[in-house]
Chains A and B, each alone.
Chain A
Amino acid sequence: MWFHNLQELRHSASLANKVFIQRDYSEGTTCKFQTKFPSELETRIERSLFEDTVKTLNNYYAEAEKIGGQSYLEGCLACATAYLIFLCMETRYEKVLKKIAKYIQEQNEKIYAPRGLLITDPIERGMRVIEISIYEDRGSSGSSSSSSSVSGSTTR
């Protein structure tokens, strides 16, 4: 293991590449991400771990956007108070977003950072993509075989 935690990742690694997991619109506009395993991560993390992470995130988002008794109650109450209740009450969606942030933090610490990867919370990218940053060990010497996509993501 090169990186034991996020601290070490920061101090001894440099960003090599970023992978973007796109949205899956097959069931409509509800928030769901594709579980297709990107080829760039093949040497870094087991497919099952990655799929578990994405599926759990998808489940969280489904829970947040679920239309059912509780959301109707919240909606009707909000309508009856002319939506002023949103000024003092946290919506169910916001509560789930906090759970998601905590989950991503845990995943980064336990699974991704030790493998030189970092997941960015989709809310920071407009819920469009799950951005996974791939880090390389900065300190080691070696051949300068940086992947070609690094140059593609440098400043224009």
Chain B
Amino acid sequence: MKNDYQQIDPKTLPMPAPSHPPAPRGGDQEERQPQEQRRKARRKWQVFPGRNRFFCDGRIILARKSGVLPLTLGLILVTSGLFFVFDCPFLVQHLTMCVPVIGGVLFVFVLITLLQTTLTDPGILPRATPDEAADIEKQIDESRNGGYQSPPRTREVEINGQVVKLKYCPTCKMFRPPRTSHCRVCDNCVERFDHHCPWVGNCVGKRNYRFFYFFIVSLSFHTAFIFGCVTTHLALMIQEHETSFSHMDLELVVCFFSVWSIVGLSGFHTYLVASNRTTNEDIKGSWSGKSGGEPVTNPYSHRNICKNCCSILCGPMPPSLIDRRGFLPEDECVQTGDGGDIELPVLTTKNEINMVGKHPCLPLHPAV
């Protein structure tokens, strides 16, 4: 049975030759061995359809609109700078050496988690290939012709006993997996989409939610710590009848307003983490209320606060799916854009496939 292939006329579909392995990495150099009539091999980030910017030859990803990230950085650096320059010497003298040490540790943690949140791929889903998009269109047409009365371009799945509707994304040309949402700012579908945060200039999603959470928690501690230290400094100076504390005004004002908003935000996200919800779901009220007379429950929750927290914050780090640094095959297999070509799988022999990809369509290093 398995040898009865349907024979077709010899086609002239060109079979792509195996792609040449990339030249050794050299910083931002992209030059490859020159081919006679071929373009230089390009990396996938160069044809990425979303609104993102890439640096260091695709190693670093940023949303195109950085929002108020410069303001966030500026506030953190200026306030912390003033604290270290003016308050620390005084408090070291009058209190303890631990003040700048604790302040320093918190400051470093805040900066690193902020950069991680901003520069990490939040869980962007690559757009459907033309073949996949065509297959989905065919299935949609078939279900419509079958007389099934569900709204067009939605699919219902049952997840842990709860019916969830999957919507079709017209930009990415696929049915969005559960908890995935399309960010209008970045023009990407993001897995486990929480929200697009202008303060960090990036979406917060499956891959960088833990960085975001630790950023706001550490920032709460940091601002509260600075606020406490500056207040102590002020109190001690008033005791010593000193009057020149103009720099402290700025620190106090920034910290006072930050503490309330950031601590509040940390509290809100702690609730979300404990109940395994996203900001998006909470705002839409996806898991509260009723649907068809039955109360809806969150099907993703592990029903245990500890387990929810651990799975979100300490769970395995999923890989980046967009393979920014992978090479495009020489026949330029572009993702669904404006009528792409047929994407033929590039065949390579056993010797050419190396686990961490000399193959252009395998991720070179699915990290960050």
Q: Interface on A for B, CB 8 Å cutoff?
A: 1-2, 6-7, 9-11, 14-16, 18, 20, 23, 25-29, 43-46, 64-67, 71-72, 74-76, 78-79, 82-84, 86-87, 90-94, 97-98, 101-102, 105, 109, 115-116, 118, 120-121, 123-129, 131, 133, 136-147, 149, 152-156
State the Cβ distance, B245 to closest chain A Cβ, in Å.
33
Given known contacts A125-B132, A128-B125, A149-B138, A136 and B6 CB-to-CB distance under 8 angstroms: yes
Within 8 A of A (CB), among B273-331: 299-300, 307, 310-311, 313-319, 321-323
Question: Shortest beta-carbon distance, A47 to chain B, in Å?
Answer: 11
Cβ contacts A to B, 27 pairs, < 8 Å: A6-B350, A11-B15, A14-B10, A14-B15, A16-B6, A16-B8, A29-B177, A29-B300, A67-B310, A71-B314, A82-B108, A83-B112, A93-B317, A94-B367, A101-B353, A118-B347, A120-B361, A121-B362, A123-B363, A124-B323, A126-B322, A131-B129, A131-B131, A136-B6, A142-B9, A153-B134, A156-B134
Cβ of A20: which chain B residues have Cβ within 8 Å of it? Answer: 131-132, 135
B residues in contact (CB < 8 Å) with A: 1-11, 13, 15, 108-109, 112-113, 116, 125-126, 128-132, 134-135, 138, 157-160, 164, 174, 177-179, 191-192, 210-211, 214, 299-300, 307, 310-311, 313-319, 321-323, 339-342, 344-345, 347-350, 353, 355-356, 361-363, 366-368
Is A98 in contact with B317, judged by CB distance below 8 angstroms? no
Nearest A residue to B109, CB-CB: A82
Q: Cβ of A72: which chain B residues have Cβ within 8 Å of it?
A: 310, 314
Known contacts A29-B192, A149-B138, A152-B138; decide if A83 and B6 are in contact (CB<8 Å): no
| Complex-state Cα separation, A153 to B137, whole angstroms | 10
- Since A97-B319, A97-B363, A129-B132 are in contact, a sample of 16 more A-B pairs with Cβ atoms closer than 8 Å, ordered by chain A residue number, is A14-B15, A25-B157, A28-B178, A29-B191, A43-B5, A71-B315, A76-B314, A91-B367, A93-B319, A98-B355, A109-B350, A124-B362, A126-B322, A127-B321, A153-B130, A155-B130
Closest 10 CB pairs of A and B: A75-B314, A142-B7, A82-B112, A14-B11, A10-B347, A126-B126, A144-B9, A156-B339, A146-B8, A126-B321
Q: Contact at B1–A18, with CB atoms within 8 Å?
A: no
CB-CB under 8 A from B322, the residues of chain A are: 126
| Given A14-B13, A118-B345, A126-B125: A91 in contact with B355 (beta carbons within 8 A) | no
Chain B residues near A133: list those with CB within 8 A. 345
In the assembled complex, the Cα of A29 lies from the Cα of B315 at a distance in Å of 13
Q: Are B129 and A26 in touch, CB under 8 angstroms?
A: no
Q: Which of B10, B321, B349 contacts A138 (CB 8 A)?
A: B10
